[in-house]
Structure 1
Amino acid sequence: MRVVIAGGHGQIALLLEQQLAARGDAATALVRNPDHFGDVQSAGAVPVLCDLESEDLDSVAAYLNGADAAVFAAGAGAGSGAARKDTVDYGAAALFASAAVEAGVRRFVQISSVGIESAESPDVDPEFAVYLKAKKMAEEDLRGRDLDWTVLRPGRLVNDPATGLVTLAEPRLPRGSVTRADVAAVVAELLSARNTVGKTLELVNGSTAVGDAVRAVL
């Protein structure tokens, strides 16, 4: 399987690239900074210079040609400001999905966030609300596309070692945390999990092995 990953230098993306390489799959990582090529190569993926905030549709689609699946793992990050949350968390996601349609890559996994339903709440920090609104718009955009999509909403992300044990279900799960390594493991499993097509899934650490949790989604 060849997988193209947007946001290919992100923490989850690098862990995903390592897991894909370990099982013999090929990953192409779209990154916007050539200084990050070494990290991507060390993770076992092929880096491609691509800034989704400035590339056009045809250019992005060209990177996806011949791929079996696409993963959107990009994010503007904390402290990036409202404008970049709109252009990355929503705009780049929509562009990447459009490129997948143009390139004929049907399998599409989008990493989103829990808390989408709180995007309009006055109790949410304004900067975080902008982030949630952008993620919500990206989800809504994806659902309208002719793709075999799955939206994954991880809980609070932590950098602890992988546990291999998760809870994965349709919204809404009780709030909880999940390791980035376990998120990457779930994404790797989702890529070939036809039972998750057209579903929005929330993810926290739990008591079920990753493979079993993915297979159990109905």
Structure 2
Amino acid sequence: MKTVAIWGAASGLGAAMVEYFAGQGFSVIAIARDPKKNPQITELGLTAICCDATDQSQVIQTVAQLPQDALVISTMGSFRAAVPVDYIGHRYLIDSLEQANIKRFLLVTSLGCGDSWQYLSDGAKRGFGAAVREKSLAEAWLQSSQLDYTILRPGGLKDGPVTQTGELSQNQEVHGLITRSEVAQLAHLLISDEQSVGQIYACVDPEIAY
């Protein structure tokens, strides 16, 4: 049984990832500052690890518990936190994965990161631009690492089921919405595909009204 370690598993997109991958028969390790916030982790009988990713020693200890062939996915993020996890948490995680020789990593950020910053509206830049910049720094750190990485930038996230209508794109301006479960399905597709290593994708669902 393949193991997937999901960082940020307590809520939002991370919780959707936990539900999806457990449903696909993966051995799921759910990692979060407070895994108890997601009761499904216990209900599904999954392994849970408490980790504050802004604490480097905790990240190192957590990564040491992962199988070397684990697939690692991170949805970690924070909004207006005193110490945002978006960059520093991912820097610690990426460094720890390299040291542990755990290679396969999928980082979920958002539209507007990296070279897609130019497509963000002025209002979006004012509203959540700081978080996007933090995530962009995480992307840059990952791109200069030795990991077999893939970066996925979803549009606006909504609750809802897997739709099978989400679309992946590269190197073009996109805007739109997508369900968290559909992002999980696309993450599964990408992390299972060697052709996605070293690639950056955006994803939105054109069937969802924007």
- TM above 0.5: yes
- What amino acid is the match of 1:111? V
| Cα deviation, residue 10, structure 1 | 2.5
Residue in 2 aligned with 1:113?
110
Taking a change above 3 Å as real, the CA distance of residues 10 and 67 of structure 1, as seen in their structure-2 partners, is farther
- What amino acid is the match of 1:72? S
- What amino acid is the match of 2:201? L
- 1:114-164, Cα deviation, whole Å (9 max, x unpaired): 012337989244351111110110000000001110000001111133311
Taking a change above 3 Å as real, the CA distance of residues 44 and 14 of structure 1, as seen in their structure-2 partners, is farther
- The answer to whether the 8 A contact 2:15-2:38 is kept is no
Taking a change above 3 Å as real, the CA distance of residues 84 and 119 of structure 1, as seen in their structure-2 partners, is farther
- The answer to whether the 8 A contact 1:9-1:31 is kept is yes
Partner Cα separation in structure 2 for residue 168 and residue 181 of structure 1: 15
Q: TM-score, normalised by structure 2?
A: 0.86
Q: Per the alignment, in what secondary structure is the counterpart of residue 66 of structure 1?
A: coil
How many residues align? The count is: 202
- The answer to whether the 8 A contact 1:18-1:44 is kept is no
Q: How does 1:69-80 map to 2 (within 5 A)?
A: 69-77=71-79, 80=80
- The answer to whether the 8 A contact 2:49-2:62 is kept is no
Residue in 1 aligned with 2:146?
146
Structure 1 unpaired stretches of 5+: 208-218
Residue in 2 aligned with 1:5?
6
Runs of 4+ in 1 over 4 A off after TM superposition: 119-122
Tell me how large the CA RMSD over aligned residues is: 2.3
Q: TM-score, normalised by structure 1?
A: 0.83
- The answer to whether the 8 A contact 1:163-1:182 is kept is yes
Partner Cα separation in structure 2 for residue 66 and residue 128 of structure 1: 35
- What amino acid is the match of 2:34? N
Per mean C-alpha deviation after superposition, the further-off stretch among 24-33 and 121-130 is 121-130
Partner Cα separation in structure 2 for residue 28 and residue 112 of structure 1: 20
| Cα deviation, residue 84, structure 1 | 3.0
Residue in 1 aligned with 2:55?
54
- The answer to whether the 8 A contact 1:3-1:67 is kept is no
Partner Cα separation in structure 2 for residue 44 and residue 178 of structure 1: 28
Residue in 2 aligned with 1:169?
169
Structure 2 unpaired stretches of 5+: none
